[in-house]
Amino acid sequence: MTTINNNDDNLQVMTRQTYTLDGIEGKLDNSGKIVFTEEEGIDYAATTVQLPGGERVPFLFTVKNLVAQGNGGAFKPGFQMGGSFKTPSYRTGLFLDPKGRGGTTGYDMAVALPGLQSGEEGDDELFKENNKTFDVTDGKIEFEVNKVNTENGEIGGVFVATQLSDTDMGSKVPKKVLSKGIFFAHVE
């Protein structure tokens, strides 16, 4: 499986230059170890990068349904927490490809190729292109706190996340995406 690293100098971002997941809220439980459970907010950003050679790879930068468990009961520099989250497909079932095929709407097969797709074995070559799927995969993220402002209830630090790229509704093999960045949180 190919790994895409967002710190690669040869990688070109095709959509925006920065990605912010914002207003993410959730429950913070501290019964021995801190556990954060994401509940709502702007918890995804549609992203596309271009690899050297021109291949474009879309993925949904997200932390949907994140459950992250910490290595202790208090936020302090060096505190680490991590967990898994769900990565929904980049495109929904209503998306139609250039041939008018979709997961819940559109044609069952490419309209320009009905002769090739007829019969028992006719659809084998184009099966993945014609049979659209909405894939939900798992991702993982690790956080490390490096700043704590107890007076204002704020923490900040760095994160590393891994997830799979889009499958183009089931027709392509996903790539492993590695994202690194900074985070900020207000703890109540």
What pLDDT digit, counting tens, does each position of 97-146 carry? Answer: 666 666 666 666 555 555 555 555 656 666 666 666 777 889 999 999 99
The whole-number pLDDT of residue 130 equals: 63
Distances (CA, A) of 118 to 47, 59, 99, 129: 37, 33, 17, 15
DSSP lists the bridge partners of residue 137 as 87
Taking Cα atoms as reference points, which of 164, 111, 106, 114 lies closest to residue 132?
106
Round to whole Å and give the CA distance between 19 and 42: 11
Q: Pinpoint the residues of the chain covered by CATH 2.40.160.30.
A: 3-91+134-186
Q: Where in the chain is the domain with CATH 3.30.2050?
A: 93-131
CATH 2.40.160.30 fits 3-91+134-186, yes or no: yes
CB 126 within 8 A of CB 116: yes
Please determine, for residue 183, whether its predicted confidence score (pLDDT) is greater than 90.
yes
Measuring CA to CA, which residue among 96, 16, 90 is closest to residue 49?
16
pLDDT in tens, 10-36: 777 777 666 778 889 999 998 889 999
- The pTM assigned to this predicted structure is 0.75
Neighbours of 106 (CB within 10 A): 17
CA distance 104 to 130: 12
Class of domain 93-131: alpha beta
136-149, strands of its sheet edge to edge = 3-5, 176-186, 154-164, 136-149, 80-88, 64-70, 33-42, 22-31
Q: Token pair of 104, please?
A: 């819940």
Distance CA 89, CA 133 (A): 9
C-beta separation of 140 from 82 below 8 A: yes
Q: Is the pLDDT of residue 152 over 80?
A: yes
In a 10 Å sphere around its CB, with 0-12 CB exposed, 13-18 middle and 19+ buried, how is residue 93 labelled? middle
